Structure 1
Amino acid sequence: MSEPLILTLDECVRLNERLTKAVANKMSADLLDIIDALSVSEVKGKLKNISESNLGRTVGKLCKFSDADVSAAATVLKKKWQERVDASKKSTATAAATPPVKVEPHAAAPKVEAAPKTEPLAPSPPSTAECAAASSSEAANASSTMGNGPVPLSSSSSFSVQWRPTKKTGDPVRDQVRTKLHECFEAGRELNEKFLREQSTDTAQMAEDVENHMVETFGGSNCKEYKARFRSLVFNLSDKKNPDFIRGVLTGQLFVKELATMEVREMAGEEVKKQRQLHAEQAKMALMDEKTYKLYAGKNTEDGILKCPRCKSMKTEYIEVQTRSADEPTTKKCTCNACDYRWKFC
């Protein structure tokens, strides 16, 4: 029998991280130990901590875990917490329905010429409605995590759309692709919650849209292009060195439909794009001659022996060309590197 836990906010965050890590590594024994400890722990007054730490949502996901024992234990725990939420909501509604106590006015005192000394009045106690409103916040936060139906969320809620699995197509390859893409989008949404704020993000619908456009683009799930596109998307969406790509998809900077057709080089991060641009620049400069490279790089050219007749600059060069018979002097073709003026003389 596991020992009960004190479900503070820090403890709930730590337990949520342990559950997430155990799910990723498929450690069923660790999952059962954590669920057993949560089952014997007192949750009265701790529902808000469970909601803010995402612990309730993680336990809800475990109801569909591949291990039957883990799934059954998580279902029992979720039902127990849901009963606690319903009981809290019911008590809150009962308190709110109680009419406030009316205070009868006192009989008027006889008029006295001398004004009596008055003592400061004590502050009036809070009304029943105010107490009910204060106690309802805990139940509202917890019920948004474990409710069966869609619940409107407040600005302090840590997620905006209830998690759901992707729709089945009957094709095992397509279903597996949808599930993997859904996991990538869900992991990216959890890492970029501060950028999403109150924006609604249905990661299951995003995975379905991407997979449908991949089928339309490549003509089915059996072709090599479909599988190659799937591998490229999973790699780039899960790449921790390229957080800008998944963030751009979730925040709407990149359209989901474009993922099926966009170039793979466009999925790369900013560092990779800068490195590619640098390599292209170096390759271009390697093909230049000395004069072109100096002009392209902005380096100063040495002064020549001729002066430009247009800008009077000494940054000039010339070559000698034999344009006439051998006994005639050569023709000097001159170029100004400052203003690109060209002239010739014999």
Structure 2
Amino acid sequence: MNADDIIRLKKSLTKAIEGGKIETVLELMNRLKDNTPSKELLKKTEIGLIIGRQRTHPNAEVSKLAKEIVRKWRDAVSAPKINETSNGSTKSAVSESKAETAKNATPKPSPTVNGKPPKRENTQDSMSSSPPNTPSSVDSEKRERSFDRDRPPYKNTSVAARDKCVKMLYDSMAFDSSADSEIILLRATTIEKTVYDQFARQVTGQYRDKLRGLISNLRDKKNPGLRKRVVDGDLQVQDFCTMSKEDMASEERKARDNEIRQENLFKARGAGPTQAETDMFLCGKCRNRKCTYYQMQTRSADEPMTTFVTCTVCNNRWKTGYVE
């Protein structure tokens, strides 16, 4: 009897037990009793669990037959274990005899050099002397790319402050870049010279503050796009040196700032009137006209006021330059 046959009998037996059909239960259990499944089949089909539960069946015949089947299957399954134990003891005896023979055998003399045993190399020391090049060490080397590590062909300006700024600019662009060191150095020297010319070719506090801001934005790990545009030359150095902090921000930061700005506009009230309810506006989201609105002058005085509308149904908000 294979696994499919046992599974079919298991389903039929389960239905018969649930339906209270005692004769069918006894017939199916007798069929199972005549066949002794292997340990693998018992584990795969779980038929032993169904038969085991029937040992407490209210019907005496079913309970007695279930106990007989369980006893028979248990004896059949435990029999191979005895054989395995006997085989294991035999193997153990053989291995013990081999060990005894090896023990009694005459050991071979170790080779000598000039009557002295050869020296063994200390493998532990040799292994420790050359540590493996682990991935973590490789990653750290990549992260540590800087002016001092790359050593680009830089000519000093004879002004220590300017040279230091060039090195800091180089470090801020090179730490995660795969560009050639000479290209990064060219960008760094050009940025420094542009700022130096902006402040009358003098190292002043404004010069330092300007470069400090540029370096901070270039070094920002959350703004790799700005760094890449400068290194690749997509953003001209002249334009970069005149950009404001808001202009240099990442696209994600710009979107977030714009969202906050719009939020603040809707929350602002000033000295104007409070919000008024109206049905003049149609919500583009829920198509209702239950809205509140207020107006503010957000543009030049010769342009109309901006109307801020909020839908009271879905809380959708929008603004318009005129009243419908």
Bigger RCO of structures 1 and 2 (CA < 8 A, at least 6 apart): 1
Query: In terms of Rg, which structure is larger?
Result: 2
TM-score (norm 1): 0.39
Q: From the two aligned structures, give the one with the greater helix fraction.
A: 2
